Amino acid sequence: MMIATRHGNFPVKKGDKLAGTRIIPLMIEEEKMESARKAALEASGGAPILKLMPLYIRRQALSLRGMKCISGAFRIPLRLSSRKS
What is residue 68's DSSP assignment?
A: H
* pLDDT one-digit tens code per residue, 44-79: 888 888 888 888 777 777 676 666 666 666 666 666
Among 70, 44, 54, which residue's Cα sits nearest to residue 11?
Answer: 54
Q: What is the CA radius of gyration of the chain?
A: 23
3-class secondary-structure state, position 71 = helix
The neighbouring-strand residues paired with 32 are: none
* Cα–Cα distance measured from residue 12 to residue 21, given in angstroms and rounded to the nearest whole number: 19
76 compared with 3, residue with greater pLDDT? 3
pTM score: 0.47
What percentage of the chain reaches a pLDDT higher than 90? 6
Check residue 7 and give its pLDDT. 86
